[in-house]
Structure 1
Amino acid sequence: MYLPPQFKGQDAQAALLIQQYPFASLISSDNDGLPFVTHLPLHLELRDDSFVLLGHVAKANLHWRHLQARPQAVVTFLGPHAYMSPKVYPDLVHVPTWNYLAVHCSVSASLIHDAPAKDDLLKKLIADNEPGFAAQWQGMTQDYAEKMLSGIVAFELKVTGLQCKIKLNQHRPEAFEAMHAVYAKGSDDERALALWMDKVRQ
């Protein structure tokens, strides 16, 4: 992605964004060479100082076949985003913009077919999103659990390249405090951006 140096985030910020906003876009090439996109939650792990993303798709979703044939893919995460009015500047010689947080990962995929490994992956996603459901999942009959596991294809996505964009107009200090004041009283996304502005200026 286009990443001016003033908006370049660090790996630790990327990890935090992925954990806070785990619903991703997985982008591969289909058999015609066109982008094939699946929207899905992913679990982040740190292994040997490298990021690994874990997820799964329904067996009926052809995306896993594209990953099998062409393991190189891209994963994107979008954090909070919001409009920024030029009214925050002390003068009128400015235009509107849009502030946002995003992470792009180049990945290499490997499929997981082993049922116990798929079960372990699902437990990690459950722990991320609804820990209380773990007991219910573990209490399922073996036949039902096997049926559910056979209906998905799981995968690991080893991150081979990472870009993190923290676009908060931090290169415009004359408007930073005014923009923070607007965002702090705004929508959920705007308030989330205000919290990230606090991190940037620390």
Structure 2
Amino acid sequence: MYMPPQFNSRDRATAAELMRQHPFASLISTDDEGLPFVTHLPLVLDDRGEEGGFALLGHCAKPNPQWRYLQARPRAVATFLGPHAYLSPSVYPDLARVPTWNYLAVHCTVEARLIETPSDKDALLKRLIGEHEPAYAQQWRELGEDFQLKMLNGIVGFELKVTALQCKLKLNQHRRESHGAMYARYSAGTPDEQALAAWMQRLGMQTDAAEVQEN
């Protein structure tokens, strides 16, 4: 994605946090006609450390051709969108300004490996259940082997090894004169705006805002 240097975060912990907090991703591969094919789905981050890198775990319905495209062309892209919100030009002290949209996003270039055997898919589902709703594990076990196999036969799992990553934190960092009014407005706004205000604070932009107001 377009990445001006002031918005480019190279902190892998920040990228991991965004992927965990906003796991509903867009998985983009190439169809048989060479066009992008997109599936919106949850992906679970598997952080294997500095040496092992990141992997993303998920599955799709067997009728969804996404898995066939991943099998034929394993290289794909997964994107995660964090909080985002409109920014009014009224946050600036002068009128010669224009609106923008602030957002946090992570893009991962991935290499896909399909997970197709019942035992491997069962292990994958148990991992995903443990991530999203551990209490459901008992119910899944009690559904019986026949039902489980039927459900497992209806999906194809995949592991997406992350080979390249971009993390974009677009928060008007380069416009310090906007930070005071921007932080105040976002702090009192929608849940997404409040989340952006928290990220401003985390990045030290609230301190910038106070310094600008004092001067």
Smaller-chain TM-score bracket:
over 0.9
1-structure distance, mates of 2:29, 2:92: 41
1:92-149, CA deviations, whole angstroms, 9 ceiling, x for partnerless residues?
Answer: 1211000000000000001011222212211222222222222211222111111111
1-structure distance, mates of 2:89, 2:146: 60
Which of residues 127, 130, 154 is equivalent to 1:127?
130
Of structures 1 and 2, the one scoring higher in RCO (CA 8 A, sep 6+) is 1
Listed as ranges, the matches of 1:177-196 within 5 Å are 177-196=180-199
Q: Which moved more, 1:173-182 or 1:100-109?
A: 173-182
2-structure distance, mates of 1:164, 1:185: 26
1-structure distance, mates of 2:141, 2:94: 61
- Match for residue 87 of structure 1? 90
TM-score (norm 1): 0.96
1-structure distance, mates of 2:33, 2:57: 26
Aligned amino acid, residue 195 of structure 1: A
- Alignment of 1:166 with 2:156, yes or no, is no
Listed as ranges, the matches of 1:80-159 within 5 Å are 80-159=83-162
Question: Aligned residues: percent identity?
Answer: 62
1-structure distance, mates of 2:195, 2:124: 29
| 1:154 Cα deviation after fit | 0.2
2-structure distance, mates of 1:196, 1:130: 27
- Match for residue 81 of structure 2? 78
2-structure distance, mates of 1:199, 1:122: 34
2-structure distance, mates of 1:198, 1:115: 46
| 1:46 Cα deviation after fit | 1.5
TM-score (norm 2): 0.91
Question: What SS does the corresponding residue of 1:60 show, helix, strand or coil?
Answer: coil
1-structure distance, mates of 2:141, 2:201: 41
1:30-71, CA deviations, whole angstroms, 9 ceiling, x for partnerless residues?
Answer: 000011110000010122431000000001111100000000
2-structure distance, mates of 1:50, 1:35: 26
2-structure distance, mates of 1:76, 1:6: 20
| 1:177 Cα deviation after fit | 2.1
Q: Which moved more, 1:46-55 or 1:185-194?
A: 46-55
Question: What SS does the corresponding residue of 1:125 show, helix, strand or coil?
Answer: helix
- Match for residue 57 of structure 2? 54
- Match for residue 38 of structure 2? 37
Aligned amino acid, residue 3 of structure 1: M
5+ residue gaps in structure 2? Answer: 206-215
Question: What SS does the corresponding residue of 1:119 show, helix, strand or coil?
Answer: helix
Question: What SS does the corresponding residue of 1:197 show, helix, strand or coil?
Answer: helix
1-structure distance, mates of 2:63, 2:97: 50
- Match for residue 12 of structure 1? 13
RMSD: 1.2
